[in-house]
Amino acid sequence: DQQVKQNSPSLSVQEGRISILNCDYTNSMFDYFLWYKKYPAEGPTFLISISSIKDKNEDGRFTVFLNKSAKHLSLHIVPSQPGDSAVYFCAASTPGAGSYQLTFGKGTKLSVIP
Amino acid sequence: NAGVTQTPKFQVLKTGQSMTLQCAQDMNHNSMYWYRQDPGMGLRLIYYSASEGTTDKGEVPNGYNVSRLNKREFSLRLESAAPSQTSVYFCASSEAPVWGYTFGSGTRLTVV
């Protein structure tokens, strides 16, 4: 059963507007949530993370919001730029002995239209 | 540039052949991981190594073996490749969850 869900396979947004990517999770033991960006033929790159004890984290144009009661997080990109066009993966961290494992959603393909 | 290096970038195998995917990181990270990415499936964990000398199964370990050769290197071996193992394989390393994983650029494997 999927523990991290991204229900929108794709999203199109006009340049300059806000992009909102959504993610839902089922496991209340997740301690960190992360967003990754992936361009074709490249590995995913880390974008931003948020601890489960916080409800917001901001880094430049990127803000992640966490609603623990709803088990929902979202990534806001403001303003959206054509270079933001990529697949975005939501991931959640499960702590383990000496390491941690990330569980990924299936991704949302964002297209920013000039 | 510092990061995670994977070799090869592309490979075509025949069913039943074996091969090893190599991964090395130069960030002095303790933990390393192997994931596979399939269309519509996201990334799924195959094996991971919390530290040098230890390895553990992830979500989809069947058909694979791993070796943590030293702190820098973590290899993934397919002993008898099957078409179901056609995928893009990513190696990653990490130190703490707040900074996420650093991924390599991937190995695109096709088994015919």
Cβ pair A99:B90 closer than 8 A: no
- Burial string for A43-65 (b: 16+ CB within 10 Å, else e) reads bbebbbbbebeeeebeeeebbbb
Comparing alpha-carbon positions, the chain B residue that sits nearest to A2 is B41
Over the stretch B23-67, which tens digit does the pLDDT of each residue have? 999 999 999 999 999 988 889 999 999 888 899 999 999 999 999
pLDDT tens sequence for chain A (114 residues):
789 999 999 999 999 999 999 999 999 989 899 999 999 989 999 999 999 999 999 999 999 999 999 999 999 999 999 999 999 999 998 876 566 788 999 999 999 999
Query: For chain A, what is the largest distance between any 2 Cα atoms, rounded to a whole number of angstroms?
Result: 46
Which chain B residues are Cβ-neighbours of A41 within 8 angstroms?
105-106
